[in-house]
Chains A and B, each alone.
Chain A
Amino acid sequence: MDRDGEFTAYCAARSETLRNTAYLLCGDWHLAHDLTQTALIKLYLAWSRVNRHGALDAYARQVLVRVFLDERRRPWRRERGVADPAVFDRPAHDPAIAERLAVRAALAEVPPRQRAALVLRFWLDLSVDQAAEALRCSPGTVKSQTARGLATLRAALERMPELTEGQRR
């Protein structure tokens, strides 16, 4: 199979996973779409080199995280309020939706690198070393970022009235 064929097959198999990961990183489906596309394009451009080493998933993951972190550093980027009170002023008829909004707001309070560490460790089930490679930092930094991210996330969840006691644990 040529590169285009391999790339198409890879996209068909993995783009959804990448997009989900991107969404967990950024909390915005449209941005997640852009991040995923950018990561896959970079993967395509480096395909032969990366494929030779059998590192397609690791490379795609690493690029995705880097693209996300770089995007957050753009000087003109304007963050919206992370726990926008307006969101919770509106009653949600569906508890599941209210809960989802609350989780998203709580996750948005976690700084980008800490959030990336959480997603890599607890959603993608990467080891500390694998996460360190993706984040391009030391394993010790991954551990500290993860611990801080967990603390931030849990503190944010504690403040969310939409969540039940069980959901906060």
Chain B
Amino acid sequence: MNDVREAFGRLLEEPGPPPATAVQLLGAAHRAQARRRRAFGVAGAALAVLAVVGAGWLIPTERTPPPTATATATATATATATATASPFSGRPLSEPAARLVAQRMEKALSKVLPAGVIPIGEASEWGGDGSSPPNGITTVGAFTDLFVGPRHGPLKGGQFLAYLLAGTETGDGDLCALAPDRRLMNGTEIGCEVLAIRGSKVRVGRMREAVAPTRVASGYVEFHYAARYVDGWMIIVWELPYTNEPLDNPVGEGAVPMLDQPVFSPRGWRN
């Protein structure tokens, strides 16, 4: 269709702003990679010590029974569910499979977002290699960029990071109920606490992550996380401050959280 091609060609005659140079693009890519590493570094800390029975994957609609009573039952149910419901079997995930799971995670996560939080599109960035490291944990991660605020007003950016973990051991949906040496990496977790969210008590972990450890500036961000069983998987949700600034920009202690309250709904979460 030469006429269409010619029309496109005419359109491109319109002068545009100077394009970014390759060096500028490389710099932007480095900053994006640093942000991703920082986020996945946090998740990596969790992976080092968490082991959760893997299987199944849809978020249950009803509340899960207390962990102490269901650990054995979960393991049994998991073994059955693995063959049918889970896309994971400990084998490395292909890229399409990981992306598919990330998209499903995002849909599931979007259901627990409070009013006023707007996820961007469907295309969350996905990460993690879906492989089984030596500790037997299979991981799939997904990022979702979020904006918070009124739909027609100024929006505040944020990033929502979630991980699915699956391994060969039984685990507990409540990270804070685990022994300290089985929880998160030393130095990053600074304790557990119970938050009252809309009248419901929710137990969450609190983490501190060093950022921008450069000669110029360094600092910490603190944030909450929560974990939940999803039919044998554990889904861990973080709320991370979001910034497009280079990592060498100063980040002050106790950065302002994205939300006034944790992003997750108390519904369905273990107390």
Contact = CB atoms under 8 A, between A and B. Distances in A.
Given A41-B32, A44-B33, A100-B11, A33 B121 contact: no
Interface stretch (B21-29, B48-56, B228-236, B256-264): B21-29
A98 to B, nearest CB: 11
Nearest to A20: B12
Interface string A5-41: 0011101100110011001100101101100110011
Interface string B8-38: 1011111011011011011011001100100
A4 B20 contact: no
Interface in B87-140: 95, 118, 120-123, 125
Nearest to B124: A70
A169 B3 contact: yes
B123 A67 contact: yes
Contacts of B155: 76
B215 interface: no
A74 B29 contact: no
Interface residues of B, number: 35
Contact of A40 (B17, B25, B125, B151): B25
B1 interface: yes
Contacts of B26: 4, 7-8, 11, 44
Contacts of A104: 11, 14
B198 interface: no
B123 A23 contact: no
Contact of A23 (B3, B12, B33): B12
A14 to B, nearest CB: 10
Contacts of B29: 7, 40-41, 44-45
Contacts of B63: none
Contacts of B1: 121-122, 150
Contacts of A100: 10-11, 13-14
A103 B118 contact: no
B214 to A, nearest CB: 19
Nearest to A28: B16
A15 B33 contact: no
A8 B22 contact: yes
Given A15-B22, A75-B118, A24 B17 contact: no
Interface in A41-66: 41-42, 44-45, 49, 66
Interface residues of A, number: 50
Contact of A19 (B19, B95, B120): B19
Given A8-B23, A33-B17, A76-B152, A99 B10 contact: yes
Contact of A119 (B8, B22, B118): B8
B25 A15 contact: yes
B16 A32 contact: yes
Contacts of A32: 16
Contacts of B12: 20, 23-24
17 contacts: A8-B22, A9-B22, A15-B20, A23-B11, A29-B14, A36-B20, A37-B20, A40-B29, A74-B121, A76-B118, A100-B11, A100-B13, A103-B11, A104-B11, A107-B7, A153-B4, A157-B7
Interface of A: 4, 7-9, 11-12, 15-16, 19-20, 23-24, 27, 29-30, 32-33, 36-37, 40-42, 44-45, 49, 66-67, 70-71, 73-76, 96, 99-100, 103-104, 106-107, 118-119, 121-123, 150, 153, 157, 168-169
Given A11-B22, A40-B28, A41-B29, 14 more contacts: A7-B22, A11-B25, A15-B20, A23-B12, A29-B14, A44-B29, A44-B32, A45-B125, A73-B121, A100-B13, A103-B11, A150-B1, A153-B4, A169-B3
